[in-house]
Amino acid sequence: MTTQPRARDLGIRIGSGEPGSLNAITDVAGVRVGHRSVIRGDDGSTDAIRTGVTTVFPREAAPWTEPVYAATHILNGYGELIGINSMAEWGILESPIVLTSSQQIGKAFDASVAWIATKDVTAAEAVMPCVTECDDSFLNAVLERPLRDDDVFEALDAATGGPVEEGCVGSGIGMQCFDFKGGIGTASRVLSSDAGGYTVGVLVMTNHGDRPGLLVDGVRVGEQITDLMPIEHSEGSCIVIVGTDAPLMPHQLRRVAQRAGMGLSRGGSYASNGSGEQFIAFSTANAVPLDGKPYAPRVLADGSESWAVISSVFRATIEATEEAVLNAMLAAHTTVGRDGNTLFALPHDRLLTILRAAGRVSA
């Protein structure tokens, strides 16, 4: 795993909350993340492949044996999320979440069904895998249809807890962010003991934003770094996955998912007309039984006694989303793809100079 300094390593503190030990979605116990990077062809060749697959599992167990409560929110819908209807209807997540390239979403779905069948044939006959996407066609020769079943299998089999690789990895290889190189990013927050001590973790696949709008900790960074621009701007999209161990029900998780959009806006996103902002939130607190019998889940009530706790989850989601996007950009490296198309990395030194001048990072 290659590592670059993350926001906090550089002295950039987003919000007031405290991260978990990994500052990653995997701080939520049981959550696992896997990547498969697919890179073929020379830089600049017409058939260069710069794509991949990233997977998120909500629990250690197979999700079709222990579904969790979940919900979605679509801020702007120019994108696809397979599985959204069943999740909205039943309020549960019963598969891994698979992220990939827009033009490969069908392949990823088909391969996910095949992978589940290798584990549980009965489940594969019934489970609707959750698969979502962003467009990586600026760097990736998408019409080569580069994704194979084995690529999806490897991303699913590679899922593990612990540190999460960020930047140009998995489904993030071909992604942009505010006209810089983007990719995969993650962050977390641990609520205070008064708010239950729950953990909120976020993973993002960034592919969004206009350079002039880029904000870092409230500072107008994009207006001050006007070079290092791609030859073509794409409105892009962003996928945000929010996991928490707070005992929330689907209607509450829908509200959590909505707050991911506020985290994106704090970084300068306005969910443009041609963008697809798709959010999924799940809670690991309850394994939903499959026997159809009544049971008593752990639940944070919506009444006044829990208001402060739920509000703390909202704030944690917003802060972790904002920081995860920044971590994705900081981890990414300059990448050349098909036809010489290039996305440049956000320059750390220039970013820090701007933030120091604004008093956001100590000299």
Concatenated DSSP letters for 234-269?
--EEEEEEEEE-S---HHHHHHHHHHHHHHHHHTT-
pLDDT of residue 237: 92
Q: What is the DSSP string of 38-54?
A: EEES-TT-TT-EEEEEE
> Hunting for tokens 């116990």 — which residue is that?
29
pTM of the entire predicted model:
0.97
pLDDT of residue 1: 58
Cα distances (Å, whole numbers) of residue 104 to 112, 116, 249, 255, 322: 12, 18, 32, 29, 27
Respond yes or no: is residue 277 known to be catalytic. Answer: yes
Catalytic residue among 37, 171, 265, 275: 275
Catalytic residue among 133, 165, 166, 277: 277
Q: Which residues of the chain have pLDDT under 50?
A: none
Respond yes or no: is residue 193 known to be catalytic. Answer: no
Average pLDDT of the chain to the nearest whole number: 96
* Other residues' Cβ atoms within 10 Å of the Cβ of residue 299: 15
Respond yes or no: is residue 275 known to be catalytic. Answer: yes
CA dist 186 and 67 (Å) reads 23
Q: Strands, E, within the chain: which ranges? A: 32-40, 49-57, 68-77, 81-82, 92-93, 97-101, 130-134, 176-177, 180-181, 184-190, 199-208, 215-216, 219-220, 236-244, 276-283, 335-336, 342-343
Catalytic residue among 101, 137, 237, 312: 237
pLDDT of residue 292: 84
Name the β-bridge partners of 177: 180
